Structure 1
Amino acid sequence: LPPLLREAPVWTLVYSLEQHGISLNTLYQLTSERDGPQLLVIRDANGGVFGAFGSDHFAVRSGYYGTGTCFLWKKLSDGELVAYAATGKNDYLMLSEPHFIALGGGNGDFGLWIDDELYHGHSAPCDTFNNDQLSSTVEFRIVGLEVWAFEI
Structure 2
Amino acid sequence: MKAFKRRLSTMKQAQDASIDLNHADTTIQAFEDESLPPVTLHGYINTTRNRLLSPDICDELRNLMPTRIQLYSDWHLLYSLQQHGASLQSLFGRTASDKAIPARIGYVILIEDRKGGLFGGYCNEPPRPSDSKRYYGNGECFLWRLERVASVDLGDGKPRTGENDGWRFRGYPFTGLNHFVMHSTAHYFSMGAGDGHYGLWCDQALETGVTNPSLTFGNECLSREGAKFHIVNLEVWRVG
- The answer to whether structure 1 residue 118 and structure 2 residue 206 are counterparts is yes
Give the AA of the match of 1:122.
Answer: V
Q: Is 2:147 the counterpart of 1:83?
A: no
Q: Structure 2: how far apart are the matches of 1:40 and 1:53?
A: 6
> Which residue in 2 is equivalent to 1:64?
135
* Aligned partner letter, 2:124: S
Per chain length, whose mean CA-contact separation is higher, i.e. which structure has more relative contact order (CA < 8 Å, sep 6+)? 1
Q: Where is the strand percentage greater, Structure 1 or Structure 2? A: 1
CA distance in 2: counterparts of 1:52 and 1:2, whole angstroms: 14
- Please report how far the alpha carbon of residue 76 of structure 1 lies from its aligned counterpart in structure 2 after TM superposition: 1.4
Match of 1:94 among 182, 185, 202: 182
Alignment of 1:48 with 2:117, yes or no, is: yes
User: Quick check: 76-85 or 137-146, which moved more?
Assistant: 76-85
Deviation at 1:32, TM superposition (A): 1.3
Asked whether 1:28 is paired with 2:108, we answer: no
What are the Cα deviations for residues 33-90 of structure 1, in whole angstroms up to 9, with x where unaligned? Answer: 2342210000000100000001101111121100100100001113221110010111
- Aligned residues, how many? 151
Give the 4+ runs in structure 1 shifted more than 6 A: none
Match of 2:233 in 1: 144
Give the counterpart letter for 2:214 in structure 1. C
- Once the two structures are superposed, residues 8-32 of structure 1 have per-residue CA deviations (whole angstroms, 9 ceiling, x without a partner) of 1210000000000011111001011
Q: Is residue 7 from structure 1 mapped to residue 89 from structure 2 by the alignment?
A: no
- Is 2:134 aligned against 1:134? no
Letter in 2 for 1:107: D
Secondary structure of 1:58's match?
coil
Superposed CA offset, 1:70-115 (max 9, x none): 1000011132211100101111000111100000001111000000
For residue 12 of structure 1, give the secondary structure of its aligned residue in structure 2. strand
CA RMSD of aligned residues (A): 1.0
Amino acid at match of 1:148: W
TM-score normalised to the size of structure 2? 0.61
**What is the CA–CA distance in structure 1 between the aligned matches of 2:96 and 2:126, rounded to whole Å?**
6
For structure 1, the residue ranges without an aligned partner over 5 or more in a row are none
TM-score (norm 1): 0.96
Q: Which has the higher helix share?
A: 2
Query: Residues of 2 paired with 1:64 and 1:89: CA distance?
Result: 15
CA distance in 1, matches of 2:184, 2:195: 19
Greater gyration radius: 2
Of residues 16-25 and 57-66 in structure 1, the stretch that sits farther from structure 2 once superposed is 57-66
Once structures 1 and 2 are overlaid, which stretch shifts more, 65-74 or 35-44? 35-44
Stretches of structure 2 that go unaligned for 5 or more consecutive residues are 1-64, 149-165
Residue 16 of structure 1 aligns with which residue? 80
Work out the percentage of aligned pairs sharing the same amino acid: 37
